[in-house]
C-alpha cells in the first residue's frame, strides 16, 4: 500500500498545506521516506463536520453492522501484512517480535469489541414499566440506555503504535459505540498511522457506513490537536501520553463554550511495596521479575515500576544486590524517538541532582554510544528523603529507570502510600500473613490507584472485561473509566431516557420483545426475557 503523507478525510486525500515533516529512524536519527503534510485548520474543520454528519446515521446502525465494521477492521489490519510491521519497526525501533505480538493484541481486542457490540448488553438497558392505575398518581413508563456520545477525537500513544494507536482501543471502542472518529496521527510514526487509517477507511467502505465515520489528520505541532479539541462537532477526546500533553487538551476542552469530557491516560510511577514475608522467602526471585519489568519495552510503559520500597535489613540487601547485578547485564537499547530519549536522560539527571538520591551502582552512569540508546538505571534513596520531597513520589521517568527506597519499617511504607497522588497501579509482594498484618497499607493504596497487583508486576495488561486501566488524577483525568479492556466503550456512551414512548418508536434494546437477547434491568430484575 502506498504511503501518501496526506490527510485521510473520510474517503478523500488532502494536502492543502505546504508544511511538511518526515519519519525519523530512531536507531540513526535520520529522516527517511516521502514527506507528510501538516493538516490545516480547514482540514480539521472538514473532518469534524463530516464526522458530525456521519454521527446521525452511525449511532442508530444495528449492533450487527457495527460488529461487522470492527471485524472488517481486524481483517484489514492483518491484510497489511509485513508492510505494517516493517514500517512500524523503521519508525519506532521496536523489535519485529514485539510488533508482531502487538498486532495480535490489536486484532484480538478489535474482535473482542465486535463480540461485545453484537451481544449488546453494554448499553445498560433499563426498563421500569408504567402503571396507569397507581394512586395517587399514575406511574409513567420509563426506559433508558446508553447511546453514542458523538464524534470522538483520538490521540494515540507513541509506545503502542498498533494497539493504542490509530486503530487502537480508543478508536475501536468509539466506533463500536456508534461514534465517528477523527484520529490525530502520532508524529513519531506517521507512516504506520496512515497504513492503519487506510485499513479503517477500507473497512468503513466495505460495510457501507457513512464516509465521515473515520478521518485521520497528520501534524507535528500542537495546533492541529488544539483545534480538534475545540471544534464544536467533537463531543469527547481520548488521549494516551504525558501529563503535560493530556492536561493541555483537558484545559482546552474545559474552556469551550460547551465543555466536553477528555479521557486522558497520562502515566504514573506505579509504586511497588515489598513486605517482610515475601522478601524473606524470595528476594532473589522478586529481583529478577522487577528488572524484567523495569526494562520491558526499554521501560517505555505507563505501568513501568518507578519506585520500589523495602525495609532495611539483610533481605532487602539481597534484593538490591541481585537487582543491581541483573540491571548491569542489560544492554543499552533504542528508545522510540529522540524526544523520549532526551526526556529520559533529563529525568534521571533531575533525580540525581537531588541530595540523598544516588546511583545504586556507578556502572549505570555509563551511557550507550549509539543514538537514542538508553541504559538501565537504578537509583537508591531513603524514605526520609521522600518524606521531605513529596514530588519525587510522583515524578515519572519514562524509560528503564527505577528507584529503590529503603524504609525503617512498614510505617514508612504507610507514610509513603499516604502521600501518593493518583497512579495507575500499585504492587504488593507479600504472603497472605503479610496482607493480614499490613491491611492498613492495602486500604490506603485502594484510594490511590486503579489497579492493585499482588506478587507480580504492573507491566503486561490483560485485555478483558474486568481490567481497569486508569486511576485518580494525575494518572488520568477521569478515574471512573478504563482505557484498556471492554469497559473502555463506556467512555463513549451517553444515557438517554424515553418516557411513555410507543413500542415502535423505541430503540430495539428497550422494546418489550427482547429480539437482541441482551441483558436488561426490568423492574429492578436483571433478565433476558421479553416482557
Q: Which residues are catalytic?
A: 265, 302
Q: Are 262 and 239 in contact (CB under 8 A)?
A: yes
Residue 132 exposure: Cα atoms within 13 Å on the Cβ side: 1
Cα–Cα distance, 410 to 484 (Å, whole number): 32
Task: Give residue for cell 497520562.
Answer: 266
Tell me the C-alpha to C-alpha distance, in Å, between residue 27 and each of 156, 332, 333, 365, 372: 22, 12, 9, 21, 7
Cα–Cα distance, 486 to 464 (Å, whole number): 6
Cα–Cα distance, 378 to 304 (Å, whole number): 13
Cα–Cα distance, 526 to 124 (Å, whole number): 10
Task: Give residue for cell 507512516.
Answer: 191
Cα–Cα distance, 1 to 16 (Å, whole number): 22
Which residues make beta-bridge pairs with 144?
126, 497
Q: Give, in degrees to the nearest 5, the angle at Cα 445 between 439 and 447.
A: 115
Q: Which residues contact 427 (CB under 8 A, 6 or more apart)?
A: 270, 271, 272, 273, 305, 452, 453, 454, 456, 457, 458
Cα–Cα distance, 227 to 201 (Å, whole number): 23
Task: Give residue for cell 505494517.
Answer: 84
Helix (H) or strand (E) holding 34: strand 30-37
Q: Which residues contact 134 (CB under 8 A, 6 or more apart)?
A: none
Cα–Cα distance, 78 to 82 (Å, whole number): 9
Nearest alpha-carbon partner for 271 in 475, 131, 519: 475
Tell me the C-alpha to C-alpha distance, in Å, between residue 76 and each of 198, 202, 223, 318: 9, 8, 31, 50
Which residues make beta-bridge pairs with 154?
183, 238
C-alpha cell at 392: 519525587
Amino acid at each position: 500500500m502506498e504511503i501518501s503523507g496526506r490527510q485521510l478525510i473520510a474517503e478523500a486525500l488532502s494536502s492543502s498545506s505546504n508544511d511538511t515533516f518526515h519519519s525519523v529512524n530512531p536507531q540513526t536519527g535520520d529522516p527517511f521516506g516521502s514527506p507528510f503534510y501538516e493538516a490545516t485548520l480547514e482540514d480539521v474543520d472538514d473532518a469534524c463536520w463530516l464526522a458530525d454528519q456521519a454521527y446521525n446515521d452511525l449511532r442508530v446502525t444495528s449492533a450487527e453492522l457495527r460488529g461487522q465494521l470492527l471485524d472488517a477492521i481486524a481483517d484489514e489490519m492483518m491484510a497489511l501484512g509485513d508492510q505494517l510491521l516493517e514500517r512500524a519497526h523503521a519508525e519506532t525501533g521496536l523489535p519485529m517480535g514485539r510488533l508482531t505480538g502487538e498486532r495480535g493484541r490489536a486484532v484480538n481486542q478489535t474482535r473482542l469489541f465486535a463480540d461485545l457490540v453484537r451481544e449488546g448488553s453494554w448499553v445498560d438497558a433499563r426498563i421500569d414499566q408504567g402503571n396507569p392505575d397507581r394512586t395517587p398518581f399514575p406511574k409513567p413508563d420509563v426506559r433508558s440506555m446508553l447511546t453514542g456520545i458523538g464524534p470522538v477525537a483520538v490521540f494515540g500513544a507513541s509506545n503502542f503504535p498498533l494497539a493504542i494507536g490509530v486503530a487502537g482501543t480508543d478508536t475501536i471502542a468509539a466506533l463500536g459505540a456508534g461514534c465517528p472518529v477523527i484520529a490525530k496521527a502520532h508524529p513519531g510514526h506517521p507512516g504506520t498511522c496512515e497504513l492503519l487509517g487506510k485499513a479503517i477507511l477500507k473497512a468503513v467502505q466495505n460495510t457501507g457506513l457513512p464516509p465521515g465515520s473515520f478521518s485521520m489528520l497528520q501534524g507535528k505541532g500542537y495546533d492541529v490537536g488544539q483545534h480538534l479539541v475545540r471544534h464544536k462537532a467533537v463531543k469527547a477526546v481520548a488521549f494516551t501520553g504525558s501529563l503535560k500533553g493530556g492536561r493541555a487538551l483537558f484545559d482546552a476542552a474545559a474552556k469551550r463554550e460547551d465543555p466536553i469530557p477528555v479521557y486522558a491516560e497520562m502515566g504514573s510511577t506505579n509504586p511497588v511495596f515489598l513486605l517482610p514475608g515475601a522478601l524473606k522467602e524470595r528476594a532473589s526471585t522478586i529481583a529478577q521479575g522487577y528488572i524484567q519489568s523495569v526494562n520491558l519495552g526499554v521501560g517505555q510503559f505507563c505501568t513501568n515500576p518507578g519506585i520500589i520500597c523495602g525495609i532495611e535489613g539483610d533481605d532487602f540487601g539481597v534484593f538490591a544486590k541481585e537487582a543491581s547485578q541483573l540491571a548491569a547485564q542489560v544492554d543499552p537499547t533504542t528508545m522510540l524517538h529522540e524526544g523520549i530519549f532526551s526526556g529520559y536522560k533529563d529525568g534521571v539527571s533531575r533525580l540525581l541532582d537531588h541530595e540523598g538520591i544516588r546511583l545504586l551502582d556507578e556502572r549505570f552512569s555509563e551511557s550507550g554510544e549509539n543514538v537514542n540508546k538508553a541504559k538501565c538505571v537504578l537509583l537508591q534513596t531513603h524514605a526520609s528523603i521522600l518524606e521531605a520531597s513529596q514530588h519525587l513520589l510522583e515524578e515519572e521517568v519514562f524509560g528503564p529507570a527505577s528507584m529503590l527506597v529503603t524504609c525503617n519499617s512498614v510505617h514508612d511504607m504507610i507514610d509513603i502510600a499516604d502521600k501518593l497522588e493518583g497512579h495507575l497501579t500499585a504492587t504488593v509482594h507479600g504472603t497472605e500473613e503479610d496482607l493480614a498484618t499490613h491491611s492498613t497499607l492495602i486500604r490506603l493504596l485502594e484510594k490511590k490507584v486503579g489497579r492493585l497487583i499482588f506478587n507480580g508486576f504492573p507491566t503486561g495488561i490483560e485485555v478483558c472485561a474486568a481490567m481497569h486501566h486508569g486511576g485518580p488524577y494525575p494518572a488520568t483525568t477521569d478515574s471512573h473509566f478504563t482505557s484498556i479492556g471492554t469497559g473502555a466503550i463506556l467512555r463513549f456512551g451517553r444515557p438517554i431516557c424515553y418516557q411513555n414512548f410507543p413500542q415502535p418508536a423505541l430503540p430495539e434494546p428497550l422494546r418489550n420483545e427482547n429480539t437482541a437477547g441482551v441483558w436488561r434491568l426490568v423492574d429492578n430484575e436483571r433478565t433476558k426475557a421479553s416482557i
